[in-house]
Chains A and B, each alone.
Chain A
Amino acid sequence: MTSTCQGAFIVELRRVSYRVDGGRELIRDITFGVRAGEVLVLLGRSGSGKTTTLKLINRLLIPTSGEVLVEGQSTLAWDAIRLRRRIGYVIQETGLFPHFTVARNITLVPSLEGWPLERRRARVEELLSLVGLEPQLAERYPHELSGGQRQRVGVARALAADPPILLLDEPFGALDPITRADLQREFKALHARLKKTAVLVTHDLREALFLASRIALFDSGRLVGLYSPGEFLCTSDPAAVQYRAAFEPAWDSAGSIRSGGKELKV
């Protein structure tokens, strides 16, 4: 596994386990680090502990054992509110506030941080265009948007106060394949521009290979291994082989897949 050189990681988990109060252990002995500007993808089937791992990073959960470090400091030492405002969070079912307009949803953290109205307004315009939405959508409510538009608003909201770290939990889930591919491409371009440190959760191998700088493969609450996209396709680790096998029919029809911007023959 990667060497743990202190200070080099923006986000780091050290031998982290999480157990529900007196119940099951949801994740066990997880260790990994995320470097500045990389996209670490947590890949695994549903129920493998990806969301739990993400919530440990912004302290929605506290590890039962081990340590989560953000910018070198244990999440327990952080003021939880300050920590969370430095971390953009895109959650699984978007979690947009149904009683707020798009503009108010997007500027939630900026308002909490006390930005003046003019600056917030300008930011809404900037962010809408950044995520490819029309400026007129600003005054709509979430239920007046399509699924794809909602996901874009979710991403814009997470970026609003320009946090150095992004956590994205299946941000393109529940979308049709075409919209999904669009959003993946746009996210990749966006990331190339903004260079945030990102941890992205998905169960979709194609998405992982396309977006990841590294892939952390989860299985039943354990971290099986860390791979570059290229390594993931070659490794003979049984869990990775099994995961690839599940997607193989898709390979046959597609013939090849995109990875890291290059065409990769399978």
Chain B
Amino acid sequence: MSLWTFFVTHRLETTELALEHLRLVGVSMLLAVAIGVPSGILLTRHPWLEKPVLGTANVMQTIPSLALFGLLLPAPWIGARADRLAILALTLYGLLPIIRNTYAGIRGVNAAVVEAAVGMGMTDRQVLLQVQLPLATSVIIAGVRVAAVISVGVATIAAAIGAGGLGEYIFRGLSMVNNQLILAGAVPAALLALLADVALGLVERRLRPAG
């Protein structure tokens, strides 16, 4: 049976797993943006926070994903359901690139432009919302893009703790020593990663300030 015939005969199941996969990635990306962007902004206002915050986010990134899933397992409420666990872990992985790019993006806004904004009497909030964030958006999206691509990959491992997603096929294939089943999970996951990369790349380009 070819991979294609497999998808045709298992189209319902495959679609369901792909959607599950997307949900894990989507929800965790929303959370990572909701936490990461404000954290990055905070860093630009209190630079002494840079080392501890980026350091912590960095450490998160170095914990192997399987170990992170395991470490979070005893957490109350979160540990009670596999998908919550997976979403939390994916969120933690996504934080570093988003915080780092938000920070770098805002810091990278032309100093003369910010000085003009402050010098003309904008409040700190106005400078942030009307000048710094709009000019940093494409850099922030670039961070989200990296986070999303990592997240699609890491999410395949979430199946190991029963959170579903395309990793189901991969783990089933591994235990049954069935290469085709492994590919049935790996190929759509790779396509999803590619899709996320291209789509966010387009958004990034569109939002890049001209000149």
Contact = CB atoms under 8 A, between A and B. Distances in A.
Verify that A and B bind, or say they do not. yes
Interface string B104-134: 0000001011011111111100100001001
B210 A141 contact: yes
B211 A98 contact: yes
A35 B33 CA distance: 52
Contacts of B119: 55, 58, 60, 84, 89, 91
B135 interface: yes
B209 interface: yes
Interface in A83-111: 83-85, 89, 91-99, 108-109
Contacts of B209: 98-99
B104 to A, nearest CB: 18
Contacts of B131: 97
A91 B116 contact: yes
Contacts, number: 65
Interface residues of B, number: 19
A96 B135 contact: no
Contacts of B121: 80-85, 109, 112
Interface in A115-162: 141-144, 157
Nearest to A60: B119
29 contacts: A55-B119, A60-B119, A80-B121, A81-B121, A81-B122, A81-B123, A83-B121, A85-B121, A89-B116, A89-B119, A91-B116, A91-B119, A93-B112, A95-B110, A95-B112, A95-B113, A95-B115, A97-B117, A98-B110, A98-B113, A98-B211, A99-B134, A99-B210, A108-B120, A109-B120, A141-B211, A142-B211, A143-B211, A157-B120
Interface of A: 55, 58, 60, 80-85, 89, 91-99, 108-109, 112, 141-144, 157
A-B pairs with lowest CB-CB distance, top 4: A143-B211, A95-B116, A84-B121, A85-B121
Contact of A143 (B115, B116, B135, B210): B210
Interface in B79-97: none
Interface string B130-173: 01001100000000000000000000000000000000000000
Contact of B118 (A60, A96, A141): A60
Interface string B14-50: 0000000000000000000000000000000000000
A92 B112 contact: yes
**Which label, helix, strand, loop or mixed, suits the secondary structure of the B interface?**
helix
B5 to A, nearest CB: 51
Contacts of A108: 120, 122
Contacts of A141: 210-211
Interface of B: 110, 112-113, 115-123, 126, 131, 134-135, 209-211
Contacts of B210: 98-99, 141, 143
B207 to A, nearest CB: 10
Contacts of A157: 120
Given A98-B210, A99-B210, A109-B120, 6 more contacts: A84-B118, A95-B116, A98-B135, A108-B120, A141-B210, A143-B210
A92 B135 CA distance: 20
A80 B119 CA distance: 9
Nearest to B126: A112
Nearest to B117: A97
A55 B116 CA distance: 11
Nearest to B207: A99
Contact of B112 (A82, A83, A91): A91
A80 B120 CA distance: 10
A103 to B, nearest CB: 15
Given A81-B121, A143-B211, A96 B134 contact: no
Question: Among the interface residues A55, A89, A98, A109, which one has the most CB atoms of the partner chain B within 10 A?
Answer: A98
A177 B110 CA distance: 26
Given A142-B211, A143-B210, A97 B120 contact: no
Contacts of B112: 91-95
A249 to B, nearest CB: 32
A34 to B, nearest CB: 18
Contacts of A83: 121
B208 to A, nearest CB: 10
A81 B210 CA distance: 29
A86 to B, nearest CB: 8
